[in-house]
Amino acid sequence: MKTFITRKLISFSLLLVLVLSSFAVSGCSKKAAKEVSIAVFVPGVIAGSPTYEMLAAGSVEAVEEYNKRTNQNVKIDVIEAGTNQAEWSSKLTAVTAGHKYSLIVSSNSSLPAIIEPLTEQFPEQKYLVLDAYLENNRNVATVNYNQREQGYLTGYAAGLATTADPSVFPYANSAKKIALVAAQEYPVMNEIILPAFEEGAKAADSGVSVEFRIVGNWYDASKSADIARSLYEEGVDVILPISGGANQGVISAAQSLNFYVTWFDNNGYDKAPGLVISSMALEQKKLAKEMVSAYLEDKLEFGNAKTVGIKDGYITFVKDDPVYRQNIPAAFIDQLSAVEADIKAGKLKLPAANK
């Protein structure tokens, strides 16, 4: 009887050891072989938002090239979080808590505040955020653009156009009024982009004044068209739209009323040839591709916040476009190129205040 109980106890403890060790082994091997897979978390929708389009395209390209080169099968999913910003935090929490992705890639300056609490809750999750700034979090890498340079050059273009002689820009009036139509207010908009737009415009001509209007979201093109129309009636003849899908409303108002548009983030010349007078592009596709490739090769440093700009080639004045060259006066393009060259050469210093 005693031996029977002892034998049973022994076999039970053996089973226990086996079960426990198998847990340990599976836990270990799972960790060691934690699969590399990537999610692109789009805070908004891709359609109409060049920065998000470039983010997804660059990340996907990096994975495809890596898979081809190494004969691997790294997975990448693009997840659109939608336009309701109140849901972004819970959606990102769900994506993180699913433990499906070793890296979550995203873009925009509001993401670090959403990610920071998650890195405490899920210390194994890594994040890469472009167009954002966060220092000293060992699970997060960020790359920020010097949008003071981007805003300044755009303002300079608008300032030159609004003060131009009608023989150069036929739709320029004498009011010296320009405007920025933003989707919403946010620290980078209020503290960097808008002031830099004004700084650049006033550098071109100190008599220029800047209007600032808010659409209220990143998609309502009929609202932005109404705003653009009323600005035009107040004497504004150059508008910078930064409102994602709603930018189209400013373009259609420009086409029906005849005023000028300065474009942000990518090449916008095709949208309204002859009316879009500048495009200050972010090389976000290139940056996303480089950073995701670095991650796949285990070379991405987390805990780091980088800032890039004109000098590094991640912000560019797009000028080698035939539509642009055919429709916009060469002297204006040259003047703007000279300012860009001054920034590149360090003659004009516009350091970024990181937000």
Question: What part of residues 116-145 is at the interface with ligand RBF (CB under 6 A)?
Answer: 131
For ligand RBF, which is the closer residue by CB, 110 or 327? 110
> What is the per-residue binding string for ligand RBF in 247-286, x denoting contact by CB under 6 A?
-----------------xx---------------------
**215, 242, 280, 315: residue in contact with ligand RBF (rule CB under 6 A):** 242
User: Exposed, middle or buried, 335 (CB in 10 Å: 0-12/13-18/19+)?
Assistant: middle
Among the residue ranges 42-50, 133-141, 232-240, 344-352, the one whose residues contact ligand RBF (CB under 6 A): 42-50
198 vs 265, beta carbon nearer ligand RBF:
265
Asked if residue 44 binds ligand RBF (CB under 6 A), the reply is yes
- Please identify, among the stretches 71-79, 89-97, 102-110, 319-327, the one whose residues bind ligand RBF according to the rule CB under 6 A: 102-110
Using the minimum distance from each CB to ligand RBF, give the nearer residue, 235 or 286.
Answer: 286
Say how many residues touch ligand RBF, by CB under 6 A: 16
- Say which residues have a Cβ less than 8 Å from residue 148's Cβ, sequence separation at least 6: 192, 195, 196, 199, 350, 351, 352, 353
Distance CA 140, CA 137 (A): 6
- CA-nearest of 98, 92, 185, 70 to 140 is 92
In this complex, which beta carbon is closest to ligand RBF, that of residue 49 or of residue 125? 49
CB of 107 to ligand RBF, least distance (A): 6
Give alpha helix (H) positions in the chain. 2-32, 50-70, 88-97, 111-121, 147-162, 187-188, 194-204, 221-233, 247-257, 284-296, 322-327, 330-344
Q: What is the x/- site pattern for ligand RBF, positions 209-228, by CB under 6 A? A: ---------x----------
Q: Which stretch binds ligand RBF (CB under 6 A): 15-23, 44-52, 58-66, 113-121?
A: 44-52
Neighbours of 14 (CB within 10 A): 10
- Chain positions 315 to 344 lying near ligand RBF, rule: CB under 6 A, are none
Closer CB to ligand RBF, 66 or 88, in the complex: 88
Report the candidate in 87, 63, 355, 25 with the shortest Cα–Cα distance to residue 195: 355
> Dihedral of the CA atoms 159, 226, 174, 342 (nearest 10)?
10
* Opening angle at CA 216, ends 219 and 130, nearest 5: 65
Q: Measure Cα distances from 158 to 6, 215, 294, 334 in Å.
A: 89, 20, 38, 14
Smallest distance, ligand RBF to C-beta of residue 40, A: 14
Report the interface residues with ligand RBF, using CB under 6 A.
43-44, 49, 51, 85, 108-110, 131, 186, 188, 218, 242, 244, 264-265
